[in-house]
Structure 1
């Protein structure tokens, strides 16, 4: 099963593809889609939709996972983010609605690291630990997208960390995921 994780954004969005092989997550690719703030907003939305459609056509994911909207004080930012998510979702042509999921940032962090308020750096380290692979990310949007895809994999396979596990227990976490690391 291939999973496409998306960290939505109107200026910078992350994406990542993982595949389940022998009940383990296999890293396929990840990257960011970025635009200049001076680019026309509607042009950005159209390009975002086209790029997501190209990723879907190339990798043919079975399921897609997006980070859900979070509360922001700036209504304009929320509106732009909502429109960006809409452009991305509309690009998921051929994927049934039952195969599209969204999770809150805290749930994603909790599943991947055992703590819902982990730092960006902590999430990046855990993503690499789970995959057993060193990955150089262009930005946190890319590592977040990979965490989104991995959280879905882990929840699908009921491999999330036990409640109460924290990022400070790195050895225990590593032991917990040892069966998944090559």
Structure 2
């Protein structure tokens, strides 16, 4: 069963405002984004990392950030660039794909081939640490699912920006 990645505003008590997409779909979405714009693909990864995870991956001293601190690496100031990329490049590109296509199986040749391609890409893609259990055939890379996930992310990032409030991120 695929893990989930949780995005929530710091101190949020309304669970309906939180998003928790499956880990494999986020990895597939970021991999796809990376094929469109490598710089924005990297920024999408960083928006999915806690500060502690980012510091670990970059070999930066942890300071006061520990593995049980879920503060996101990205803050309010980075949201507009992500929102613009999602609106102007990612959504239109996904809408132009065949809506019956599963990116993992139809384009990349299955989950093991996708995982190989993923880890052979830029080093930062490995920061999420996906595995075969995170890939669900007919769901993870299915274009309508990817569109739904990117809309959830965009709306969440917009909320972070509008409320000028930091967010937390963790994986279960």
TM-score, scaled to structure 1? 0.28
Structure number with the higher strand fraction is 1
Scaled by the length of structure 2, the TM-score of the pair is: 0.29
Higher helix share: 2
Report 1 or 2 for greater relative contact order, CA contacts < 8 Å, sequence distance ≥ 6: 2
